[in-house]
A and B are shown apart, each in its own frame.
Chain A
Amino acid sequence: MKAEKNFPLVRCAGVAKRYRKGSLWVTPLESLDLEVPRGEFLALMGPSGSGKTTLLNLVSGIDSPSEGRIDIGDIAVHELSRRKLAAWRARHVGYIFQLYHLIPVLSAYENVELPLLPDGQSKRDRRERVEAALSLVGLADRMHHFPRELSGGQEQRVAIARALVADPELLVADEPTGDLDRESADSVLALLRNLAEEQQKTIIMVTHDPKAAAAADRLLHLEKGRLLEDQHVK
């Protein structure tokens, strides 16, 4: 079954996540419903501990829900085993972290190449894609630099290239500008904006920065594990 063009890419229904903490149960998310259409750039805000990262992890298949269902495209992600999830993530989701999480012993090129390795493409195909991704984030000339030789903003752009390179339909970003100065943050936001508009990427971005949130199509607030508002920024 091929999903229709205007069918939401991300569909969460009645999703809950619970953790055991000693004898207590922590419930970062409760009966959450969320739909994100293809090509939408969604911003998530909320106080610390409100469950934002937990939600991103669920949507990106890094974690599994305690209750409810999560469909991404035509895949029921909540039903996949840990091993299948890893393979699914490699193809369908790009994860962008606040602290970039680049591998320090690999060059920018090698970092961006990583998501392509499990797929077994030829070296030449990989090279084309890596170079295209690095050009897209404006770092084609820094290919052979190591993370320690890059600025924070450049590192984050390499991380975005890494998230993009396998051409996933979904990008999730956890405070991608949280550690950057204004100028670098603006260039990262412009880049994300551009990806949503030009490449029809669906982006879910957690942020504490209202200015970052303003770059998105839509803003949601998470409070104590529940979605409170649904504001259309644009």
Chain B
Amino acid sequence: MLPFTYAVRNLSRDRSRLVQSILGSALVVLLVMGAHAMNAGMTRSLQSTASPRNVLLLGAGSEESMQRSEVSEQAAGIAETSLAGVESVLGQRAVSPEIVHMATLLTGEGQELRGLVRGVTSKAMLVHPEMVIQEGHFPGPGELLVGRLAWRRLDVSPETLAVGEVLTFDGVDLRVSGVLAAPGTVMESEIWMPLQDLRTFAQRDTVSSVAIRLREDAEVADVQLFTRQRLDLELSAVSETEYYAKLARFYAPIRTMTWTTAILIAAAAVFGGLNTLYAAFASRVRETATLQAIGFSRFVILISLLQESLLISMAGTLLGAVIARLLLANRVLPFGAGAIELDLEPSTLVVGLIAGMLLGFIGTLPPAFRCLYPPLPQTLRD
């Protein structure tokens, strides 16, 4: 083996190359970690929104989109009163009729906010027990409940949506009465208002969906059986898990795009890095030839070159991870109907580490090959 100090001292041969390569690998690692954190956040938010015990009743034929779905007053009423297997909390059945409506609200400064508003009754809290009112109280008539991260999705300052602030909807002033928290779910970026109010604003006598929390022993199939027996109600039952899984599939192109972008930029960085490595190794062709002449095998020299590159790429990985931590941790990004909170999970760190290692390995092989492969008499002359 060649001494490790040889690999280490080789680093200092060209300071600008060293800095350039470390920054390059840091960039690649940062991009890969960013893409991974985004996708992990997306998946997490959709997954944690869905509870395996919840079922959504949607209008038959609108299973894909809550916004297009219509459930008649009568159907909602029958589900509320007579559906079997429903969880009950303190004598109240966990059945929540809801309206989702794309609305435009005006802030105090006259700024237009366009987003999904959900009309709910107090029973919504029974269906989603993980939700808590973090501040203030559940909205009464003329009031709004805002998700903890709604400001981010609507692209306003957090103060705009603070408790006590007033937003205008179709000329009517609505006061923010509370802040909703449900960590990791898409509901955190929604705005809620009483069902009756939204029914009036949206001028509809149907609801969009009925969310139901089932007892532990009940099954989605029971509800599906009910919708098939009562075809006249024109209902369709979808488990929440399934609904959000479909939604996640809908976002697959975004996912692909994030990765494609990250990989393209990373590839550009890798090619840049390859070039500097080519140049660096090319200037050492005769030296590696000398080492071979002395009796070191090409494999041993390759190991030393790999050590050198891995030192660089690992320094880059460390830097990339630190930047990722500063840049990404606890950052909230708007996406689709919600917002995702980025978090540096261990899996993201592992992915970054693997990317850094691969970079060191794969980036070294072609330049090393060009340096070590040609016949020795030829490289000794160079």
Contact = CB atoms under 8 A, between A and B. Distances in A.
Interface of A: 53-54, 57, 60, 62-63, 83, 86-91, 95, 97, 101, 103-106, 110, 114-115, 117-118, 162
A20 to B, nearest CB: 12
A63 B289 CA distance: 12
B295 A103 contact: no
B6 interface: yes
Interface stretch (B119-127, B145-153, B230-238, B374-382): B374-382
A117 B290 contact: no
Tell me if A's interface is mostly helix, strand, loop or mixed: helix
A115 B295 contact: yes
B134 interface: no
Contacts of A88: 295
B292 A105 contact: no
B301 to A, nearest CB: 10
A57 B377 contact: yes
A83 B297 contact: yes
A54 B287 CA distance: 19
Interface residues of B, number: 26
A86 B297 contact: yes
Contact of A117 (B1, B9, B292): B1
A53 B293 CA distance: 14
B365 interface: no
Nearest to B297: A86
Contact of B294 (A63, A83, A89): A89
Interface in B255-310: 286-287, 290-298, 300
Contacts of A62: 293, 376-377, 380
B380 A117 contact: no
B374 to A, nearest CB: 12
Tell me if B's interface is mostly helix, strand, loop or mixed: helix
Which of B295, B296, B375, B380 has the most A CB atoms < 10 Å from its CB? B295
Which of A62, A89, A103, A104 has the most B CB atoms < 10 Å from its CB? A103
B9 A162 contact: no
5 contacts: A57-B376, A90-B296, A106-B9, A110-B5, A114-B294
Interface in B293-334: 293-298, 300
Contacts of B249: none
Contact of A118 (B12, B13, B287, B296): B296
A62 B297 CA distance: 12
A114 B13 contact: no
B337 interface: no
A110 B3 contact: yes
A89 B294 CA distance: 7
B150 to A, nearest CB: 59
A114 B9 contact: no
A95 B293 contact: yes
A203 B141 CA distance: 104
B10 interface: yes
